A and B are shown apart, each in its own frame.
Chain A
Amino acid sequence: QKEVEQNSGPLSVPEGAIASLNCTYSDRGSQSFFWYRQYSGKSPELIMFIYSNGDKEDGRFTAQLNKASQYVSLLIRDSQPSDSATYLCAVNKGDQAGTALIFGKGTTLSVSS
């Protein structure tokens, strides 16, 4: 059974700080990794995806992947109160085409002003 693990939090950071969200996955054969943001009562919104080892940057967000350690992280620079949400790490299920995802339980981020 493939699993995705996240610290549920809450993770609290002051406005302007860097928020670091972490995720580990069990299947060494996993190929695709996604970070979603979910506001309360809303559906998940894709922030970033990463396939290759290393860093991928998009604006204030940086995803980091280390396949040897089976570890994915998301850094949010200059955190804003509007970043307060639950962040979901997801991994492609891998045994079929398309983006069937296995989700972690999510980390709740709270950014205080």
Chain B
Amino acid sequence: SAVISQKPSRDICQRGTSLTIQCQVDSQVTMMFWYRQQPGQSLTLIATANQGSEATYESGFVIDKFPISRPNLTFSTLTVSNMSPEDSSIYLCSADRNTEAFFGQGTRLTVV
């Protein structure tokens, strides 16, 4: 399985601020994905990040709120911008290896 390191593992942030989450994969991957898991809920895909192109966002998620970078084939960041308490969730990155999707440890974000 792929090893995906994600940080920070958790953070408590003030409303109106932004947080950038980093995800590092142990080998090159074509596509990386970002998910949100709200309290007591399942995972919802935010966007797909390809190296060298703009991220593709799912319905209900916009680039201004969740800008994504993918500077190379092993790294991606997700920024949660202008946070509100409704953004309190776990954010997870994912990458493919042999058509199987593996997840980072997640970032537990609390907005106060």
Contacts and interface: CB of A to CB of B under 8 A. Distances in A.
A43 B42 contact: no
A32 B101 CA distance: 11
- Best-buried of B33, B42, B56, B101 by chain A (most CB within 10 Å): B42
Nearest to A46: B100
Give the interface SS of chain A, mostly helix, strand, loop or mixed. Answer: loop
Give the bracket for the number of chain A residues in contact with chain B: 20 to 34
Contacts of A88: 42-43
A102 B45 contact: yes
Contact of A99 (B42, B43, B94, B105): B94
Contacts of B96: 98-99
A88 B43 CA distance: 9
A96 B42 CA distance: 21
Contacts of A98: 30-31, 33, 48, 96
A97 B31 CA distance: 8
Contact of A93 (B45, B102, B103): B45
A17 interface: no
A13 B81 CA distance: 44
A100 B42 contact: no
B102 A46 contact: yes
A61 interface: no
